[in-house]
Amino acid sequence: MYVTEHLSRAQNPLFSYEIIPPQRGKSARDILDIVEQLQPYNPPFIDVTSHCANAYYEELGDGTLRRRIRRKRPGTMSICGIIQNRYNIDTVPHLLCRGFTREETEDAVIELGYLGIHNVLVIRGDDTNYVKPVGDNRTTNIYSTDLVRQLADLKEGKYLEEIANPDSIEMCIGVAGHPEKHVESPNLTDDIMHLKEKVAAGADYIVTQMFFDSGSYFKFVEKCRKAGIEVPIIPGLKILSTMRQLTSLPKNFHISIPEELVNEISENRKHVKEIGIRWAVRQCRELLEGGVKCVHFFIMNDAMLVTDVVKQLS
């Protein structure tokens, strides 16, 4: 089922989740354990992140350095296939512009279709220390809008090379939105205009970056609607669990944390998880009372906190 179908058919609040593949050399069992912890709460869909290659350096015995190129967390498509077909939970693999050619993207979407996966989330991807060389007869998507257009073409049976009597590929396309604006945008208004371009290119829904002030989400939605963006906008939440996140989350995701939350955690350093859970429950209630149908949790690799939140809301 498409993400948009889950939203339109929802009779009760929905809670979806985002996880990351295991590091290279680790078993998928840890990820499947997380899925099994989430399964009793009937997730409508689970996102699985994707990661492009990075450059790593290792010191050899003679003191010289050797440069290696590898993806730290491969396996997005395989994990999605397992979740989709073993647990019957719709999955949403992330598709990146950076690190992947348009040809690789087309092949990936075809394979996802074979696996019965018909939802994707399009993101540009973070800057890395490695730029993949593009060979002859290969092309790239520079911006996420370009990738959305490519996927929209595939939905109409338009492939990179002309094919006789091609079949279209069923797909629901999600994109990312930033209630506090993207770090590279000069202001929120400009950022929303770029988001509108993604929707015009073929995006079916939006998932927001994490935020800790529900008011910022409602203001963002209001501005999007005034700009003519009518697709569903799913709020994304992160549950604070460590003191370190007070600095790491703003640094890495360019978001702000309310003074009230920071002060409470700073004064009760031994109870960060309890405070984080309480704050997330409060946010969810504010969002659901404001008419939100689905809340999306960035849980990464630990389901315990989010299950505590969902239990309270159920």
What three-state secondary structure class fits 121?
Answer: strand
Q: What is the pLDDT of residue 60?
A: 61
> Residue 114: which of 141, 139, 77 has the closest Cα?
77
Q: What is the pLDDT of residue 75?
A: 85
Q: What is the pLDDT of residue 22?
A: 86
The mean predicted confidence, pLDDT, of the chain is: 90
Q: What is the pLDDT of residue 56?
A: 45
Q: What is the pLDDT of residue 156?
A: 96
21 pLDDT exceeds 70?
yes
Report the amino acid identity of residue 72. Answer: K
- Work out the pLDDT band at 143, boundaries 50, 70, 90: very high
What three-state secondary structure class fits 127?
Answer: coil
Q: How far is 71 from 56, CA to CA, in rounded Å?
A: 10
Percentage with pLDDT > 90 across the chain: 80
Query: 183-221 burial, b if ≥16 CB within 10 A, otherwise e?
Result: eeeeebeebbebbebbbebbbbbbbbbbbbbbebbbebb
Q: What is the pLDDT of residue 314?
A: 79
Sign of CA dihedral 47, 48, 52, 55: positive
Q: What is the pLDDT of residue 50?
A: 84
Q: How far is 286 from 215, CA to CA, in rounded Å?
A: 9
Give mean pLDDT, residues 227-239. 98
Beta strands in the chain (DSSP E): 14-19, 45-48, 54-59, 65-70, 90-96, 119-123, 172-177, 205-210, 233-237, 294-300
Three-class SS of 245-267: HHHHHHHHHCCCCCHHHHHHHHH
Q: How far apart are the first and last CA of the chain?
A: 23
258 pLDDT exceeds 50?
yes
62-103, pLDDT tens digit by residue?
A: 556 555 545 566 789 999 999 999 999 999 999 998 778 999
Spell out the long-range contacts of 69-73 with Cβ–Cβ below 8 A and sequence spacing 24 or more.
Answer: 69/130, 70/24, 71/24, 72/23, 72/24, 73/20, 73/21, 73/22, 73/23, 73/24, 73/49
Please say whether the beta carbons of 214 and 290 come within 8 A. Answer: yes
Please say whether the beta carbons of 154 and 144 come within 8 A. Answer: no
pTM given for the model:
0.91
Q: What is the pLDDT of residue 131?
A: 53
What letter would DSSP give residue 26? S
171-191, pLDDT tens digit by residue?
A: 999 999 999 999 999 999 999
Q: What is the pLDDT of residue 46?
A: 97
Q: Which domains does the chain have, with CATH numbers?
A: 3-313 (3.20.20.220)
